[in-house]
Each structure stands twice: as C-alpha cells, then as structure tokens.
Amino acid sequence: MNKDLLLSSYCFSLPKNLIATTPVYPKESARLLVYHKDTQKITHTYFEYLFDFVPRDYLIVLNNTKVIHARFYASKLANQSTIQMQNTSKEFLYHKSLGNTKHLVQIRGRASVQNLFLANDLQTLIELSRVCDDGYREVVFYKMPAHVTTLRVDSREFLTNLQNKTIMQDSEVMAFLQRYGKIPLPPYIKRKVTRQDYKDYQSIFADINGSIAAPTASLHFSESMLTFLQQHYNYTFVTLHVGAGTFAPLQVSSILEHKIHSEYCNLTQESAQKIMQHNNILCVGTTALRCVEWFANLNGLSLDKNVLHSMKYSDWQLSGENTLFLHPFNRPRVVRALLTNFHLPQSSLLLLVSSLIGREEMLRIYAEAIQKEYRFYSYGDGMLIV
C-alpha cells in the first residue's frame, strides 16, 4: 500500500520540552520556519520578518472567529424530589447551538438522559436530552427565577423554582458562558488557566463568537504587524468556528477512511469576491485555508476561476457546515501559501500541511524543526509555506 495512505506514516516523536505552554513576548519574537515550495529550501528566521517572504501581490486571508469561554462546571442533582447535590461538580465543554433550544456539549464522566445539573452560578440548570453516538451530549439550558441565588438542599422553595425554570435563549447561554465559563486551553497544556490566557489565547482581530479553540497562527500577530499587513496587502476575513475535533487523533488505518469533524464557516460576499479576483492566496492558519477551500469546492472554483466568474453573486453559497478533509490525495484547489503552527502527529491538521507539500517533505521539515528546538502546538512557533 502507498505509504501516503497509511496513518502510521504521519507520525513523529516530539520531546515534551518542545510543547509550548505559554507564548513568547513580544509576539514578533516567535521563531518562523519558512519553506520555499519551488526550491524546497528551508529558512530559519523570526516572525517579525514574515512579510519579507510574502510577495505584495498575495491576498492574505484571516479567520476572525472568537474563542468563547466554553469550559464550565455543574453539579448533578441526585434526586429532584429531595434536591440533593452530588459532592463533586462535573466539567462541561460547550460546543455549539443546535437550534430548537438544543446545545452540543461534552461532559467529563458519566451522565444519562434526563440528568439535571446545576451550574456554579446557582441559577443555570442543564438537562441532558440525548447521548450522541460520538460521545457528545445534547442538552437544554434553563434559567431559575432571578431571586434564587443560594442553594438549600432541603428547600421547598428551591423545588418550586425548579418547576418554574425557563428555557434559555442562545444569547443567554452565551452570556452565561462569558461570565462563568473559562477559556478552553488545549488538552496538551497541563496547567490551570491564568488571567493572561484570556488575552494570549485570542487573536487581536477575533470578532465573532463561536470557537472552542483558537486559530493559533493568528495568535502571532501584534497590532503593529496587523497594521503593516493592512497597509501593504490586500486582505480579507473569513469565519470558521473551531471545534474540539481539531485536537482529535485519527482512529483509522487508512487516511481515506477518516470522517472529519464538522465546523461552521461563513464568508461575506466581499471576501468571496476578493478570493475570486486573486490567484495568489496566503491563508493565516489551517482554519482559514479550510474555509477558502470549502467555498471553492462548493462553488466549483479552481485556480482559473472561470466557473465563478460566470455565476451571479447571489448564487454563491457562503455559509454552512464544513466537512472538507484535505490530505495528499485531496489537495487545495486555490490556496498557494499557508502560515501555520506545528501540529500534533497523526492529526487532520498535519495531513492538511501534507496536502500542500507532500508527506515526505512535511516529515523532513518537522525533523529539522525538532532538531532546531522549535516550540510546538498552539502557543508555539510558526511555519510559512510559500
């Protein structure tokens, strides 16, 4: 079998000390590995010199999604008739609204349909309505009457208020998460969230709530670098809300068997027009690249862009669920260049990088990055493929 098909061929050994748990300051001091596709040459530099390697005729596409405070805690009501609380709270990770008052979450530990949980604000109730096949749970959020601010386990008043709960709208759920939730650091960062993480794990151009993980290539940009980009390049924003599936290792032997996670993405008509008008496109991050390529695939767009030129703007599909899986056997159609971080072995993101440069070159680059002690993953250093 072709080695490029085997998931085991996308593995490398990474020393634990190269997993970055905090970013570097200032942001421009992060290291940058530049891979030149035409010559296969590698240049080692720093992020402050990024634009020395990006021609001025490139359109730069950035993801403006914003990380929500998706991690929160709630205690199970053991018996609604007596309103007893279990001693330990469970960790919840919010994913997204499903519409019709349902929301998708992960719950650490056991939980069954109709289980009821009280969040640590002592006003928000979460009822589990369905256990999905992939281990995710569908829940409904309820709000207790405003005057319920303390928990008395033997209180009939509490039971009365439980019966008078009201379903929370999406905006109310977002407000609850923003106030009581925590920023969801990746699972490989084994430390508690600090106040600084709320700033560090959010790009300076984050604008639209919806992600539970940061588009990490965006984290390298300081105000001065973003200003330089805006003054010297054509650029546009797209939106792809990053889900927890971005960290999930593939569980297949052949990469063609993998069913990638779904993530919502959206382009404005203006951003779609800019993508249509440019042959040289650099995406900041794998999420921006997946969004652009999803749009291209959905609308029959390729590098010549003839199909899209013949379509009316009103016919373009600009938003939806993105399940595009890019790998060496399904390469990008329109994106030429990528700014990204260094990714986990056997991950869909590593396969995406391989779709641009091939598996063997990816492994060669990663081996050199490890030998040069680049910092890996979300808070790590960057790589430019151009």
Outline where 68-155 has alpha helix (H). none
Looking up residue 124, the CATH number of its domain turns out to be 2.40.10
Q: Decide if 199 is inside a domain.
A: yes
Mean pLDDT of 113-126: 91
**What span, in angstroms and rounded, lies between the C-alpha atoms of 340 and 338?**
6
Q: Which of 180, 205, 222 is the last residue of a domain?
A: 180
Percent of the chain whose predicted confidence (pLDDT) is above 90: 80
User: How many domains in the chain?
Assistant: 2
Q: Decide if 188 is inside a domain.
A: no
In Å, what is the CA distance from 142 to each residue of 138, 139, 349, 375?
Answer: 13, 10, 36, 43
Query: Vertex 215, ends 213 and 221: CA angle to 5°?
Result: 130
Q: Which of 119, 154, 180 is the last residue of a domain?
A: 180
Query: What pLDDT shows up at residue 146?
Result: 58
- 188-231 pLDDT, tens digit per residue, is 999 999 999 999 999 999 999 999 999 999 999 999 999 999 99
Q: Tell whether the model's pLDDT for residue 177 goes beyond 90.
A: yes
Mean pLDDT of the chain: 92
- Cβ atoms of 313 and 277 closer than 8 Å: no
Q: Decide if 186 is inside a domain.
A: no
**What span, in angstroms and rounded, lies between the C-alpha atoms of 348 and 247?**
8
Q: Decide if 244 is inside a domain.
A: yes
Q: Tell whether the model's pLDDT for residue 299 goes beyond 90.
A: no
Residues 362 and 270 in one domain: yes
Residues 235 and 222 in one domain: yes
| Domain coverage including residue 295 | 3-67+194-385
Confidence of residue 248 (pLDDT cuts 50, 70, 90): confident
Residues 125 and 262 in one domain: no
Looking up residue 315, the CATH number of its domain turns out to be 3.40.1780.10
Query: What pLDDT shows up at residue 84?
Result: 54
Residues 158, 163, 167, 173: what is their CA dihedral angle, to the nearest 10 degrees?
20
Q: Tell whether the model's pLDDT for residue 157 goes beyond 80.
A: no
Residues 223 and 113 in one domain: no
Mean pLDDT of 239-256: 90
Residues 37 and 163 in one domain: no
Residues 6+ away with beta carbon under 8 Å from 263: 240, 241, 242, 243, 245, 246, 287, 290, 321, 322
Residues 158 and 261 in one domain: no
Confidence of residue 358 (pLDDT cuts 50, 70, 90): very high
Q: Decide if 356 is inside a domain.
A: yes
- Cβ atoms of 162 and 82 closer than 8 Å: no
User: Tokens 């969801």 — which residue?
Assistant: 184
Q: Tell whether the model's pLDDT for residue 283 goes beyond 60.
A: yes
Q: Tell whether the model's pLDDT for residue 70 goes beyond 90.
A: yes
Q: Decide if 87 is inside a domain.
A: yes
- Cβ atoms of 22 and 197 closer than 8 Å: no
Residues 91 and 61 in one domain: no
**What span, in angstroms and rounded, lies between the C-alpha atoms of 300 and 279?**
15
Residues 219 and 167 in one domain: no
Q: Decide if 187 is inside a domain.
A: no
Q: Report phi then psi at 224, rounded to 5.
A: -70, -40
Q: Tell whether the model's pLDDT for residue 55 goes beyond 90.
A: yes
Query: What pLDDT shows up at residue 311?
Result: 58
Residues 224 and 359 in one domain: yes
Residues 366 and 251 in one domain: yes
Q: Which residues in the chain belong to E strands, given as ranges? A: 31-36, 41-46, 59-63, 65-67, 71-79, 84-99, 102-107, 116-119, 124-131, 137-143, 166-167, 208-211, 234-240, 263-266, 281-284, 319-322, 337-341, 382-385
Q: Tell whether the model's pLDDT for residue 302 goes beyond 90.
A: no
b (16+ CB within 10 A) / e for 80-98:
eeebeeeeebbebbbbbbe
Residues 173 and 198 in one domain: no
**What span, in angstroms and rounded, lies between the C-alpha atoms of 337 and 320?**
24
Residue type, 196: Q
Q: Tell whether the model's pLDDT for residue 306 goes beyond 60.
A: no
Residues 6+ away with beta carbon under 8 Å from 306: none
Query: Vertex 262, ends 288 and 60: CA angle to 5°?
Result: 5
Query: What pLDDT shows up at residue 294?
Result: 97
Q: How many CB atoms are located within 10 Å of the residue 128 CB?
A: 19
Residues 213 and 94 in one domain: no
Query: What pLDDT shows up at residue 312?
Result: 61
Q: How many CB atoms are located within 10 Å of the residue 265 CB?
A: 25
Confidence of residue 133 (pLDDT cuts 50, 70, 90): confident
Query: What pLDDT shows up at residue 300?
Result: 80
- Cβ atoms of 349 and 286 closer than 8 Å: yes
Q: Which of 136, 153, 180 is the last residue of a domain?
A: 180
**What span, in angstroms and rounded, lies between the C-alpha atoms of 79 and 153?**
10
Q: Decide if 281 is inside a domain.
A: yes
Query: Vertex 91, ends 86 and 94: CA angle to 5°?
Result: 130
